[in-house]
């Protein structure tokens, strides 16, 4: 299992940086992007920023990559860049089986030195969602187990995305169901 962070581009450099084990490199050098399904978004879809929310956007995803392994991502709004646009911090857990995603994993995660506050906020939200039975995280984890034929999963309904995940949590009149 490999744990990394996609760092926010606060200076608008145009280069996504990935931090793993204290080393920072360009995302495309450290991560084989060709293995990711088109529905797997590195960050947060724009349509979620457009929704009127009182809390920062927190977006979760999982993709099956084959051989029982997958990629989990948790993304959280991390403030603004120099131009005033929203930036995102993303936790990536590569080469993980769905059963590996448990609350105990959070204590093993090394926080990026450049994003201590935002990373702590993200990990706190993950911890909170692990403890809430009907949280988006737990719904996503249940769906991964319940729908082994589906490849991609997301914690939010994405209506505008050209490449939608196979499963998305949906609330309809207080009843949770799946879309796919």
Kindly state the DSSP code that residue 85 receives in the 8-state scheme: -
Q: What is the pLDDT along the chain (180 residues), one digit of tens a residue?
A: 899 999 999 999 989 999 998 899 999 999 999 999 999 999 999 999 888 778 889 999 999 998 888 999 999 999 999 999 999 999 999 988 878 888 888 888 999 988 999 999 999 999 999 999 899 999 999 999 999 999 999 999 999 888 999 999 765 434 344 555
Report H helices in the chain.
27-30, 46-50, 116-131, 136-146
Q: How far is CA 7 from CA 25, 34, 107, in A?
A: 10, 20, 20
pTM of the model: 0.90
Q: How many CA atoms lie within 13 A of 159 on its CB side?
A: 5
pLDDT reported for residue 173 = 38
pLDDT reported for residue 178 = 58
Give the separation between CA 63 and CA 161, rounded to whole angstroms. 16
Domain count, the chain: 1
Per the structure, the complete domain to which residue 131 belongs is given by: 2-179
Pairing of strands 17-20, 2-7: antiparallel
């Amino acid at each position: 299992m490999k744990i990394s962070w996609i760092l926010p581009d606060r200076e608008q450099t145009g280069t996504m940086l990935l931090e793993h084990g204290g080393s920072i490199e360009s995302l495309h050098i450290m991560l084989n992007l060709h293995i990711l399904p088109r529905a797997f978004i590195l960050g947060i879809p724009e349509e979620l920023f457009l929704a009127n929310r009182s809390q920062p956007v927190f977006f979760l995803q999982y993709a099956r990559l084959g051989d029982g392994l997958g990629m989990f991502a948790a993304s959280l709004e991390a403030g603004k860049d120099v131009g005033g646009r929203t930036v995102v911090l993303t936790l990536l857990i590569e080469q993980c089986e769905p059963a590996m995603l448990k609350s105990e994993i959070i204590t093993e995660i090394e926080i990026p030195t450049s994003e201590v506050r935002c990373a702590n906020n993200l990990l706190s939200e993950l911890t909170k969602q692990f403890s809430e039975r009907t949280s988006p995280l737990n719904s996503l984890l249940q769906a991964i187990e319940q729908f082994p034929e589906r490849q991609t999963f997301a914690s939010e309904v994405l209506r505008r995305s050209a490449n939608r995940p196979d499963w998305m949590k949906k609330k309809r009149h207080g009843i949770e169901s799946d879309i796919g």
